[in-house]
Amino acid sequence: MYLADEAWPDLETYFDEESLALVPLGSTEQHGPHLPEGTDHLIAEAFAREAAERTDYLCTPTVTVGVSPHHRQFHGTMWADAPAFRDYVESLTRNLTYHGIDRVVYVNAHGGNVEHLREVGRRLRDSGDAYAIEWMWNDSIPDLVEEVFSQPGPHGGPKETSLIQYLHPDLVHDDRLEAARDGGLVDWENHPGALQNGARTFYDAIDNTPNGVLGDQTDATAEKGGRLFEAATDQLVQLCEWLSGQPFEALVPKEHV
């Protein structure tokens, strides 16, 4: 069920009977010369709405701008300052608790949001109002990602490219895949500038990759994207079913010893 499509009287039964909601979050930021700036929020919304369709759980509208100042040097990147993002997500989640939701899955597709969603989840749990957890699609299927791609890249690489080729093929510049690979950083894990004596010395994407992306984009196909989408959606559905089945008292903080 997609909240924004429903008339309010038709939502009464859901809030009477269910207590779980999916909240998709992503970003609006550069994803190299070949992918749209909406890559992350398009992926997050696709997973959340598909899982909602398969389970009948509630899916909210998508948070389309995230914590992305590390991509600011590239045209069009938008971002929210981290404190403002955390407060906004907490506020909209509390909107849901007002209606009776007490468990939330943040369906996230942007790495820059992760630590902040975890912090919001802690606030909500510590207050006893809701149990909210962050879910990142590629973290749910790491073995498949490694099997499918030799250089997946953490940003704008073949895994994200494949998903957008599958979900929104009209938004992918397939004629720029080689340029994306050749103008970016292919082998992130062995990049000598990633660490200096154990310290991360970079702050922005452009410090490591001139065109903003990592990995080998020429390894992407829509067929691979379909495999990723099905496998990760299955994981998300299982997570929702698990969370829905937990008694709320098992989700709140333990008492002091």
CATH number at residue 84: 3.40.50.10310
Report whether 235 contacts 138 (CB < 8 A): no
Q: Per residue in 47-73, pLDDT tens?
A: 999 999 999 999 999 999 999 999 999
What's the average model confidence in pLDDT over 37-46? 98
Is residue 64 situated within a structural domain? yes
C-alpha dihedral sign at 246, 247, 248, 251: negative
Is residue 257 situated within a structural domain? no
Provide the pLDDT confidence category of residue 191 given band limits of 50, 70 and 90: confident
Provide the pLDDT confidence category of residue 199 given band limits of 50, 70 and 90: confident
C-alpha dihedral sign at 159, 120, 21, 66: negative
Is residue 256 situated within a structural domain? no
Domains held by the chain: number? 1
User: What is the structure's pLDDT at 119?
Assistant: 98
Is residue 110 situated within a structural domain? yes
Provide the pLDDT confidence category of residue 210 given band limits of 50, 70 and 90: very high
Is residue 65 situated within a structural domain? yes
Q: Which two tokens stand for residue 241?
A: 């079913």
Walk across the sheet containing 20-25 and list its strands. Answer: 58-59, 20-25, 103-108, 131-136
The range of the structural domain enclosing residue 70 comes to 3-250
User: What is the structure's pLDDT at 161?
Assistant: 98
Is residue 255 situated within a structural domain? no
User: What is the structure's pLDDT at 153?
Assistant: 87
User: What is the structure's pLDDT at 192?
Assistant: 67
